[in-house]
Chain A
Amino acid sequence: MAERLFELLFKYRPVVFARGDLVFAAPWPLVVVLVLGVLALGIGVTAYRRSPAAVSARARAGLLGLRIGAVAVLVFCLTGPALRVSTIVPQQNFLGILVDDSRSMRVADGDGRTRGALAADVLASGGPLMRALGERFKLRVFRFAETLGRVDSVEALTFDGRRTDLTEALAAVRRDLATVPLAGLVLVTDGADNAAGVLADPLLSLAADGVPVHVVGLGRETLEPDVELSRVAAPPTVLEGTAVAVELAVRAAGYEGRRVPLQVEDEGRILARTEIRLPATGEPTSVRAHFVATEAGPRRVRFSIPLQDGELIAENNTVEALITVERRTERILYFEGEPRFELKFLRRAVAEDEGVAVVTLLRTAEDKFLRLGVEDSSELASGFPRTRAELFRYRGLILGSVEASFFTHDQLQMLAEFVSARGGGLLALGGRQAFAEGGWTETPLADVLPVVLERAVRTDTAPFFAEVAVELTPAGRDHPALQLRGGAEASAARWDSLPVLSMLNPVREVKAGASALLLGRGPGGAYVVLATQRYGRGRSVALPVQDSWMWQMHADMPPEDDTHEVFWRQLLRHLVADVPDPLDAAVSVDRVEPGRPLTLSAEVADSGYVRLNGADVRATVVDPAGGEHDVPLRWTVRHDGEYEAAYTPSLAGRYEVRVTASQRGQLLGQATTYFEAGDVGAEFFGAGRQTGTLRRIAEETGGRYYTPANLRTLPEDVSFTESGATVVEHRELWDMPVLLLLLVGLLSAEWVWRRRRGLA
């Protein structure tokens, strides 16, 4: 509307003014014009000087000003003003038209019509736009999705591309049309790029060549109504039988507050179902899905929300993650400094768990140890490990009620390195000789623990003792280790009703960066009952209560209740989750389109967990047809012990990646990981129109941004270009309606004023 008004007043559209230079091209010399102007002014000034004295000086000045204005407009017209613009020579230039052929173009967010249908309408052969463009240019139509290709017309598009790669499309079209006079490009897309390319590169190149990209944005920025599940954050590897928490981002528009089920499936088998509340439009929220990984092997776990009424995209209600469920036994060393029932019941709780083996070393008397669950007679034969290799065999370490002075300085250092360097999980239990009461405050382990230890313990008062009622913190409510049976709400209710526990260590504060998962309310206020943090490569957990076994023994606990078992199984699995091996293998993505590369990576260390850079690391990639491909991995130089290689799968299906590392002929380790090649469905996520990106493409290359509603001017706009074969035109300005209006307005105002003053 504003543009039309502008054109009405100024004769041309703003784009002409923007692209043109102002010149004066009068057929007579400018001096003549100036002389005429001065003469006219002189007459005016003289006339007003002679006017009757009744006319005030102010009115005289005003009238003179109006006269000067009118003369100035006339003088301007007489100078022959014009805009000098470059326009294309008809049929001498090429115009590239790029049309998005990806699946996001199937989204029907244009009043019931798909973006593809809108594009087809706009660019229909024989339609007004194509006709107008065809009169000016030689047209080249391209489709693009993951790659770019020539098509005869937009009717040939199928909107079936699995990815949108704007960067590649712009670079490729520039290469394709490098040898012809290119006037510009017209890009018709929703802008939902999912290729993570560097868009700045082709834009800089196009801007340098003066090739403007005119962009036609399709679709709506916010898809409404729609529900989208995205950004699934799942652990790549878990132990069989482990409670897993997966974080998902939920985006919704038009269903605020609606409660919908979130279902977790493992290849058709329902693992969990929980109810979530959909967020308000434009406010992505994070939800957690909890389930137990029961089947061993690589599992494709699917998270889905049922299709809601009227949803624009069905495919983005489901998201998947490839999780390798491992059947193996994680060995955890439990060192207990004195006989106590916590040991008995902890061991009993996980005795049936095949995923964890608690190897126990119990100091029964001074220098006398009871070993339980050892593999052979030599294991722990001389007491607590004295070397790193001996300690680092274990993936987890539980420290019971044992005083810090039991350990040598080197052993204390080793305990800290068990977490920071080896990446193991350390659990510190409460007890008479634990935490500050056990003299741990000034030791290397104090840094590792997630809780703040008191500076000094008073020995002149009675030992601390408090009974605490345990409650979940918000972080604990979502933590996988604390999910009891029966779903999130039943679990939270169960926590509220558990018997009280007792503490001998008044631990009140968690460190910055640590999470308190359970608190205990006692007579002296709140205490930390369970806290956890990442430390170095590993994890530390503090449980400063001394009798979690009351959750098993207490008279209020029904005989069939398995809270105590579930708690310990999950806590110990949390302790050893993600603990590295000397060789760990990974893939950059768990699903990739066939023909697209992904990165295989490995981290290599020796038995003391010192990173190795000179190892021979090889991957054998087994494709879905059983073919084996040998891929050597190279040290990345960025980080010690990190190796990488690129691999491009060609077949669709599941790939197995077996990595081995060796040094000087000695095998350091073997690891297996998986990925899948197939449709990643990327087009259905984040499929709203990316106006910001599209405007940037237009602005950085000197083009304009359009929507299907304001395309009328596109053919003319494209004509004003300095790229390709062009001619210079002069567009005259003297007959702009605005000048006439101005002149008439000034003279009329002067006449009316004169009349009122009796001068006319």
Chain B
Amino acid sequence: MDDPPPVTTDEFRRLCEFLYRRTGMVFKEDKRYYVERRIRERIRATGSTSFTSYFARLRSDFRGEAEKLVNAFTVNETFFYREDHQLRCLTTDLLAKRIAAKPRGDPLLIWSVPCATGEEPYSIAIWLLEHWPEVDAYDVEIVGSDIDTQVLEVAREGIFGKRALIRLSPELIAKYFVPIDENSWRIIPELRQSVRFSSANLMDTAEMRAHGRFDVIFCRNVLIYFDESSRRIAAENLYENLVPGGYICLGHTESMSRISPLFEVCRFSDAIVYQRPLEGP
């Protein structure tokens, strides 16, 4: 089939509106080329003859097209230091705020959910060691959870390939990993022990509640896959899993639906995050 024609401004607009309504994903003008390329890929992949017929297919979610389109926008491989501006926000702003709010000596609790094969929680650990001067002064607990028990096993093993480490400098790799063969490295034992892995389903209130309350939660690039009703339940659960004043970070294109009225939007220099208010249920 010929290359699909370029997407018009009006078509781009309509698609972004639709995506935002369905998933909460937001795309700014500077992402136009990125979005357009993916739309055209999907038009080609579905054998649609025009944007209009593709859009109709998308709207009716024919053959799960909505999820396929969302997949096209999320990087399905995870890697260390992904969206590091949020890690920067953590050590520049969030932890300081949490420390000021807590009794001295209380641990700081950070949750990565879903954690998949562990890149995110291990990244948090490495980042804290590298960028947080006070890392020795405070007791930090990092928990990584996922619905998939198989990926949790992989996470506990802590073995990663070249692609996962692509953002890490050779110095960092040498410091925190032990090479196994030319294509795999294993996280050093001290770091493996610093992250606790557990099973959790965002939709399961009892299971979520059992994890207790956290100061900071990273819940990135998963709520966009949920329907609106499921997002409500997840938002309620995540609210309960935050201490009053605690923060939740989503993926950088996500605007959390159902965020209001539960959470407040907070702007820091490196990221926009959401906060559970100090007062309230």
A binds B: no
